[in-house]
Structure 1
Amino acid sequence: MKSNRRELLDRILEYHFACVELNLYLDNNPDDQNALTSYNTYCNKFIQAKCSYESKYGPLTNFGYAPSSYPWQWVCDPWPWDNEFYE
């Protein structure tokens, strides 16, 4: 289970990185349709992977947009950066 959790988190980080880099590229090259297509593809992959992670392991961030069931669960599970599931 820990390896699946780690693999999913790695995938989220990869998609996030691609989105940020493509966003920066598109700031300077707004007419590059191929880059925009790639950006939208990675954004969708990021959203899907993040939703998958959060449905299995709980929210990745606590900025008011991650739903929680009762009782409040943000502090109940290991944090995404805890060493517990990196081992």
Structure 2
Amino acid sequence: MDCQQQMMLFKKIQEMQFVAIELHLYLDTHPCDQDALNDYNCAVEMLNKLMSEYEEEFGSLLAHGFHGRKEWNWIEGPWPWEMSY
């Protein structure tokens, strides 16, 4: 993947994080809404999939996210917050 594909994948992660957080907040006040709970579970599943895909291809999204890699490549850029759109 190239830098543009990395940015597109990172943007998808940010979008899915937003969805998951919003549904989480909604469920705090509507815990019996089964449709919202299903949507939340789907969003979290998709978020985990996207994050795994990103980390497999580009490395950890977090400074403390070593994830069992044998090499330390966190310093190699760009860091997630340094990417521009």
TM-score by length of 2: 0.88
CA distance in 1, matches of 2:68, 2:82: 20
State the 4+ residue runs in structure 1 displaced beyond 2 angstroms.
68-71
Q: Distance in 2 between matches of 1:66 and 1:40?
A: 25
The whole-number CA distance in structure 2 between the counterparts of 1:44 and 1:61 is 19
- Cα distance per residue 1:3-28 (max 9 Å; x no partner): 21111001000110011000000000
- Report what 2:82 is aligned to: 82
Say yes or no: does 1:37 pair with 2:34: no
CA drift of 1:32 comes to 0.1
Equivalent position amino acid for 1:75 in 2:
I
1:67 maps to which residue? 67
CA RMSD in angstroms comes to 1.6
Amino acid at match of 2:75: V
- Structure 2 runs not aligned, ≥5 long: none
Q: Secondary structure at the residue paired with 1:61?
A: coil
Note the residue ranges of structure 1 that are not aligned, 5 or more in a row.
none
> How many Å separate the matches in 2 of 1:69 and 1:41?
28
TM-score, structure 1 length as denominator?
Answer: 0.86
Does the CA-based 8 Å contact 1:68-1:74 persist in structure 2? no
Instruction: Give CA deviations for 1:43-68 in whole Å, capped at 9, x if unaligned.
Output: 000000000000000100123x4415
1:38 corresponds to which letter in structure 2?
D
**1:2 Cα deviation after fit:** 1.8
